Amino acid sequence: MSEYMEKNVHVNLDSSVEIIENTYDFMLIPPNKKIGVMIVGLGGNNGVTFTISVLANQLNKQWKNKNGIHTPSFFGSLSQYGSVHIGYDENKKSHSKLYKEMLQMCDINDIIISGWDIVKDDLHTASERQKVVDSDLRDQLKSKLEKIVPLPSIYYPNFIAKNQENRVNNILTFKHKKDDLMYIIKQIEDFKFTNRLEQVIVLWSGSTERFNTGNWKNWSELMRSIENDDPEVSPSIIFAMAAISCNCIFLNGSPQNTLIPAVIEYAEMKGSFVGGEDLKTGQTKLKSVIADFLVSSGIKPLSITSYNHLGNNDGKNLDEYPQFRSKEITKKSVIDDLVESNPILFKDGPPDHCVVIKYVPSVGDSKRAIDEYYSEICLDGRHTLSIINTCEDSLLASALILDIILFSDLLSRIKVSKNGDTFKSLSHVLSFLSFFFKSPVVNNTEPIINCFFNQKYGLENLFRVLNDLPPIDFINLSKKI
């Protein structure tokens, strides 16, 4: 149990400000013994790499490659290695604690994985094809991985690229979307029952879909559209509705607009949680730092130009325009709040922002991201910052997938009482997860925060207040007077 006295600013429409004060009491429900994770796109690069990372940890594997002998790690994961600043001692030494030391989070060993894919390959076969994980580790896990065969899934061909068509061999053959929904619900319930799970998280890590153009006013209209086989109901919407129906947390790791208002309203109605959208792993994560650095320094970005090339199946799917367009939208949105925050720098409008993605099979999972930040400085001077970022896409994503699972589970266990009211869960949109997503979904009453450090301190301060510590204060006034 912890208490937090909030003192914050509310700006009225006439720009006058009011100080608001609230008192919050928090409780954290202990985690379940096991946590189920069902991945849509289990046989994809992210699904397979994440599963191997978890199994390698659980089985304490060691493996060899040309650099030597290795043990499993999740470097790149906030939940495993991130720390929260606590304060300074009299020797000016900073003290911090790992996130996982501050609040009780599930352990990697408590995760049980299952999921769906429209391709039937077992996870060892898929991993051989993907060439992400060292062959020694993959082969040590062969007997386990061969037993993991994705469940058959929903395939509505016009949502993902046409170039995926000839891979598809593991699909449900119902004639109606309602039947697809009911079957996915049954698969989730079976997984829960067989493994005796209370908490299951369904993650969409399937191929990027095109945007749906459905304009459903509310969840019941959306349900009617599912019953009427509306062509705009995408597979990811069916999975979201199924997960919510089963009271699971639904997370969208891809860019398409799955978490539309009707889906969010359904989550609210059912008391389930959702989070998304599009994992923020490499280029966009860095952009949310660099753009903030430029604008915070008073430098005026004129253009931000981002090229990517990658050679994995995600890159192939993004090679067609409707799927690329979904990615372009989330990648571009990452500077929105920054532009809005500075009416002087951007009085003539936002900077040019261009995103290009090309499929180059030979680089495989090793994505190249090349960014140019071209800015105006003093006396019409120009400042150009060019960044080349090369990374194994799915290895970055695996650490992030672990984080969204552990943090969303934790957030779903928080109960809060405002000004002495009854204890309630956090709102159904888990916007504290914004740090992990390119295009964060937030509650109706909330602004969207894209900047890396604002998102980080949001999460860090939550951990502090749940430990009866005040939010972080950089004034350090007592040491300056």
Cβ nearer to ligand NAD, comparing 31 with 206: 206
- Whether residue 347 lies in the annotated active site: no
- Whether residue 278 lies in the annotated active site: yes
Determine the longest span between alpha carbons in the chain, in angstroms. Answer: 74
Q: Using CB positions, name the residue nearest to ligand NAD.
A: 44
CB of 258 to ligand NAD, least distance (A): 11
CB of 332 to ligand NAD, least distance (A): 14
Please pick, among 280, 285, 327, 332, the residue that the annotation labels catalytic: 327
Residue 326's contacts (CB-CB under 8 Å, 6 or more residues apart) are 208, 209, 210, 211, 254, 255, 256, 257
Cβ nearer to ligand NAD, comparing 317 with 434: 317
Q: b/e map of 278-287 (b: 16 or more CB within 10 Å)? A: bbbbbbbbbb
Please pick, among 314, 367, 371, 403, the residue that the annotation labels catalytic: 367
Please pick, among 278, 292, 371, 403, the residue that the annotation labels catalytic: 278
What does the binding site for ligand NAD look like in residue numbers (CB under 6 A)? 40-41, 43-47, 116-119, 153-155, 160, 205-208, 235, 253-254, 278-279, 281, 312-314, 317, 393-394, 396-397
CB of 326 to ligand NAD, least distance (A): 8
Handedness of CA 75, 79, 80, 83 (dihedral sign): positive
Output the CA–CA distances (angstroms, integers) from residue 309 to 221, 395, 411, in the order listed.
Answer: 40, 17, 35
* DSSP reduced 3-state for 25: strand
CB of 229 to ligand NAD, least distance (A): 16
CA distance 50 to 33: 20
Cβ nearer to ligand NAD, comparing 222 with 369: 369
DSSP line for 303-349: EEEEEEEE-SHHHHHTTSHHHHHHHHHHHHGGGHHHHHH-TTTTTT-
- Whether residue 438 lies in the annotated active site: yes
Cβ nearer to ligand NAD, comparing 396 with 405: 396
CB of 358 to ligand NAD, least distance (A): 14
Cβ nearer to ligand NAD, comparing 46 with 127: 46
Cβ nearer to ligand NAD, comparing 84 with 118: 118
CB of 195 to ligand NAD, least distance (A): 20
Position 13, amino acid = L
- Whether residue 144 lies in the annotated active site: no
* DSSP reduced 3-state for 352: strand
CB of 35 to ligand NAD, least distance (A): 21
Side-chain-side CA neighbours of residue 91 (13 Å): 2
CA distance 374 to 300: 9
Helix or strand holding residue 287 (H, E): helix 283-296
CB atoms within 10 A of CB 109: 11
Query: Which region holds residue 104: left if phi is over 0, alpha if psi is between -120 and 50, else beta?
Result: beta
DSSP, res 427: P
Cβ nearer to ligand NAD, comparing 397 with 406: 397
Please report the beta strands in 222-299, taking only residues with DSSP state E, as ranges in sequence order. Answer: 249-252, 274-276
Q: Which residues are the active-site residues?
A: 278, 327, 367, 438
